[in-house]
Amino acid sequence: MRVHEALDAEGVRLWAESALAALGLVRAEIDAINVYPVADADTGTNLYLTLEAGTESVARALSESAEGKDGLDSLAIAAAALSRGTLLGARGNSGVILSQYLRGAVDVFAEGVSLRTVPPGRVLASALERAAALAYAAVARPVEGTMLSVGNAAAAAARIAAAADPSALGAVARAAADGAAEALARTPSQLAVLERSGVVDAGGRGLVVLLETLADVLGGVRHVGQSLGAQRSALAGARSVTIPRIPAAEFEYHGPAFEVMYLLEADPEPAAELRERLAHLGESVVVVGADQLWNVHVHADDAGAAIEAGIESGRPFRIRVTALTVVASDDRRVVALKPTRRLVVVTHGPGTAELFEAAGALVVPAQPQGRPSSAELLVAIQGAESAEVVVLPSDAGARAAAEAAAAQAREFGIRTAVLPIRSIVQSLAAAAVHVSGATFDEDVVAMTNAASATRYAAITIADREVLTSAGVCRPGDVMGLVEGDVVEIGSVVADVAVAVIERLLAGAGELVTLLAGVDGNDELMRTVAAAVRARHPGVEVSQYYGGQPLWPLIIGVE
């Protein structure tokens, strides 16, 4: 992970992006330990979607900000964007609390002037204290053993570290992460339902991920001793795949029937009064925001009354009501879907998009050096109008967003699977064996096996000097990567490509697939194909125009 030892706009952006990637890796595991306040297996997904909205807001705000802003101006822009983005995109009880937690932290960053006069470690400690305080204030009836107590412990640890060395930004961040992990390990002793289930709090687990990422980004050195031991204990308990998620029915849930969420335009005083009114109507009441915009969350039996309370306080919009009981199999949303199965594929160029569209798949184009959001992928999944959808993410970076989109799609009765695919050539291999007439499980297994049997490589041109496992690479050098690792460096694209293919074929192979990018051409593919056929007469070579940027050639070997 890249280290950025400063509280500035770049630090906020890098933290948000790194934390989102980290949440994507453990999203399903957090879902699996979600037993409080409702065992509905969505806390990890809700946290991911909330932070995804904030991360996209930061990227958009920084790209649109006027040139000439100084560092503190840019920091204020990034901080405000993260706060507003998570507020607007908050999902579920945990997501709403997270949005308020982040608002508290970034409000201190956005003040800016303190960074000119106060040591950075002390600023960070103040930010985490503000975050914990606002998160507590947002909840009508705070409960210990949740992400609230985890955040409070992080703030206390940061305060102690900042008192010892106010300038040690990384050390303060690391102390906060360790304090959060220790508090997470204590959550089962604070909340009976966690102890019965043998898990730590899911929301708290997510907050530990964010604080761990912050410590890594700010260069916080991991401590050795009791705090690290508690961290390992907490994380092992939270992440262990042997811990079963107990079905909601086994908890004999008798709580409110609906989760009600909406955004609200209102003045601060009516918003505060709304929190009290909702506390009498239901449970898990959270009202967060500032100025004129608020995010409202409540579990209630009377969803209409919860919405009417919002109407009396201001103007509610983006209203969402979700049943907290199991949805019947004859739900109308399921009946309306066609009894078919379709593929949704992330593509990186017009050529591969045409290939998949010709095969009947729905494509979601990725931007250069970017990935589609979960919202874009969900639109495609729903646009398939099929009861069954298989998503081919085409690279490792898009998988977390695809998994989050799939989790949302399942709420609408769409049976959705995401294949563990890391390259566009693996997506091609999977699509080639797709059989819509097979059972869902048979089709998913066949496509997964085809993808995993395909090794992949790529050729690119270095734009800066970098030390790789194959040696020093200078600007203009041609790099050959096999499954993400640089293995060849040269000066001619065709020569490097042939050398890379030789490495791949050393482990056997029957089919070589070549995808030419924007910077590739027919002559390049012909040259490479001829060299492969001359050296390996029994190997078949397929050539396609992919049109992907940055990579003149992508290679697959099956």
Sheet with 386-392, strands from edge to edge, namely 362-365, 338-347, 386-392, 415-418
Q: Which residue has the higher pLDDT, 323 or 240?
A: 323
154 with 289, same domain: the answer is no
Residues 148 and 155: their CA atoms lie apart, in Å, by 11
CATH number at residue 436: 3.40.50.510
Q: How confident is the model at residue 337 (pLDDT cuts 50, 70, 90)?
A: low
How close are the terminal C-alpha atoms of the chain, in Å? 32
The CATH number that applies at residue 291 is 3.30.70.1710
Q: Answer yes or no: do 206 and 87 share one domain.
A: yes
Q: What are phi and psi of 468, to 5 degrees?
A: -120, 175
Structure confidence at residue 1 (pLDDT) = 58
Distance in angstroms (rounded) separating the CA atoms of residues 205 and 181:
8
Query: Do 206 and 44 form a contact (C-beta atoms < 8 A)?
Result: yes
In this structure, is residue 387 part of a structural domain?
yes
48 membership: H or E segment, kind and range: helix 43-64
Q: What confidence tens digit (pLDDT) does each residue in 279-334 have?
A: 999 988 989 887 789 999 999 888 888 999 999 999 998 888 877 754 333 333 33
Name which residue leads in pLDDT, 553 or 249. 553
Same domain for 299 and 182? no
Instruction: Round the average pLDDT of the chain to a whole number and report it.
Output: 84
Q: Which residue has the tokens 């990935």?
A: 371
CATH number for the domain spanning 125: value is 1.25.40.340
Q: Is residue 93 part of a domain?
A: yes
pLDDT for the residue numbered 319: 87
* One domain, residues 282 and 178: no
**12-55 pLDDT, tens digit each:** 899 999 999 899 888 888 988 988 887 777 889 889 999 999 99
Residue with tokens 């204590």: 186
Average pLDDT over residues 171-189: 94
Dist CA 93 CA 111 (whole Å): 28
Q: CA-to-CA distance for 497 and 485, rounded, in angstroms?
A: 14
The reply to whether 432 and 531 lie within a common domain is no
In a domain, residue 172? The reply is yes
| Helix locations, 374-521, DSSP H | 374-383, 396-411, 424-432, 440-452, 493-505
Please name which of 76, 98, 96, 68 lies closest in space to residue 8, comparing C-alpha atoms: 76
**Which residues lie below 8 Å from residue 310, measured CB to CB, with a gap of 6+?**
262, 264, 274, 296, 316
CATH number at residue 546: 3.30.1180
Residue that is written with structure tokens 């992440």 in the block: 239
Mean pLDDT of 395-421: 88
The pLDDT-based confidence of 448 (bands split at 50, 70, 90) is very high
Verify that 444 and 489 share a domain, yes or no.
no
226 and 306 share a domain? Answer: no
Verify cis geometry, omega within 30 degrees of 0, for the bond prior to 549: no
Q: Is residue 1 part of a domain?
A: no
Name the domain boundary from 452, 471, 491: 452
Encoding tokens for residue 179?
A: 């304090």
CA–CA gap between residue 513 and residue 223 (Å, rounded): 48
Helices 268-281 & 303-313, crossing angle to 10 degrees? 160
Query: 500: buried, middle or exposed (CB in 10 Å: 19+, 13-18, 0-12)?
Result: buried
Question: Does 33 share its domain with 104?
Answer: yes
Q: Is the dihedral of CA 136, 139, 142, 145 positive or negative?
A: negative
Q: Are residues 51 and 185 in the same domain?
A: yes
Of 300, 323, 346, the residue at which a domain comes to its end is: 323
**Judgement on whether residues 192 and 306 belong to the same structural domain of the protein:** no
- Domain range for 76: 9-241
Residue 2 lies in a domain: no
Out of 69-83, 94-108, 455-469, 505-519, least confident range: 69-83
**Domain count of the chain?**
4
- What are the tens digits of pLDDT across the range 68-93? 455 556 888 888 899 889 998 888 88
DSSP state, 384? T
**What is residue 328's predicted lDDT score, i.e. its pLDDT?**
36
pLDDT score for 424: 94
**Burial bucket for residue 33 (CB in 10 Å: 0-12, 13-18, 19+):** buried
Are 401 and 308 in the same domain?
Answer: no
pLDDT at 336 over 60: no
Is 249 a domain residue? Answer: no
* Single residue among 421, 452, 483 that ends a domain in this structure: 452
Residue 78 placed within a domain: yes
Q: Are residues 312 and 460 in the same domain?
A: no
Render pLDDT for 243-254 as a digit per residue (tens, 0 to 9): 334 443 444 556
Q: pTM to 2 decimals? A: 0.70
State how beta strands 511-516 and 553-557 pair: antiparallel
Query: 3-state class of 472 per DSSP?
Result: strand
User: Which residues have CB under 8 Å from 471's CB, separation 6+?
Assistant: 489
If you average pLDDT over residues 479-497, what whole number do you get? 92
Asked if residues 203 and 146 have their Cβ atoms less than 8 Å apart, the reply is yes
Band of pLDDT at residue 171, cut at 50, 70 and 90 = very high
Establish if 386 belongs to a structural domain.
yes
Residues near 558 by Cβ (< 8 Å), separated by ≥ 6? 429, 450, 453, 454, 509, 510, 511, 513
